[in-house]
């Protein structure tokens, strides 16, 4: 079993329902067990078209017997189940699931990059990670989540909308 951290986001439709549905569908699959979930944060969209709706974001800590590529396949299937479309990069979406970390592995392939290449620059990822993995060390940067978050003034300003969801 490996520990992985997944970032979930939604900025279309009933955002909280999409996060709940994505979480529940993921953890009901064989080989995936939910260990902990962060609170839910509402944040501005990063990138994308003008007027992109606000996101709800959360991070899940899971244990999985799936290999990283299998986990990616499972995440993509859940996104599709919840109506995810990809008309353009950073377009609004019903559900987005990113593998942030997979154990301490570093994977750099065409369809899979772990750790997520931009997580250290994204307050909407760092804030929920701070809740559930403050001492986790980024395998490439050699810094803990706490240290990464300390470099971002925006993380301290974020508080969860919902802590139990």
Q: CA–CA separation, 3 vs 156, rounded Å?
A: 26
Radius of gyration of the chain (CA): 15
pLDDT of residue 39: 95
Strands (E) located in 103-157: 107-108, 113-114
Domains in the chain, please, with CATH? 2-157 (3.30.70.560)
pLDDT of residue 160: 84
pLDDT of residue 91: 66
pLDDT of residue 45: 85
User: Is cis: bond before 40, omega within 30 of 0?
Assistant: no
pLDDT of residue 125: 95
Q: What is the pLDDT along the chain (165 residues), one digit of tens a residue?
A: 999 999 999 999 999 999 999 999 999 999 999 999 999 999 988 877 778 889 999 999 999 999 999 999 999 999 988 887 775 666 688 999 999 999 999 999 989 999 999 999 999 999 999 999 999 999 999 999 999 999 887 887 788 886 666
Statement: the pTM of the whole predicted model exceeds 0.85: yes
pLDDT of residue 18: 96
Catalytic residue positions, numbered = 84, 93, 96, 98
């Amino acid at each position: 079993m490996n520990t992985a951290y997944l970032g979930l986001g939604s900025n279309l439709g009933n955002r909280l329902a999409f996060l709940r549905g994505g979480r529940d569908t993921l953890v009901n699959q064989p080989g995936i067990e939910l260990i902990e979930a962060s609170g839910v944060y509402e944040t501005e969209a990063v990138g994308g078209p003008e007027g992109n709706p606000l996101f709800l974001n959360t991070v899940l800590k899971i244990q999985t017997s799936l290999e990283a590529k299998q986990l990616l396949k499972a995440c993509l299937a859940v996104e599709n189940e919840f109506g995810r479309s990809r008309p353009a990069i950073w377009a609004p979406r019903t559900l987005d699931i990113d593998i942030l970390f997979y154990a301490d592995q570093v994977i750099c392939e065409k369809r899979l990059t772990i750790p997520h290449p931009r997580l250290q620059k994204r307050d909407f990822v760092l804030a929920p990670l701070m809740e559930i993995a403050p001492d986790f060390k980024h395998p490439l940067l050699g810094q803990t989540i706490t240290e990464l978050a300390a470099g971002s003034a925006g993380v301290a300003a974020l508080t969860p909308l919902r802590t139990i969801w």
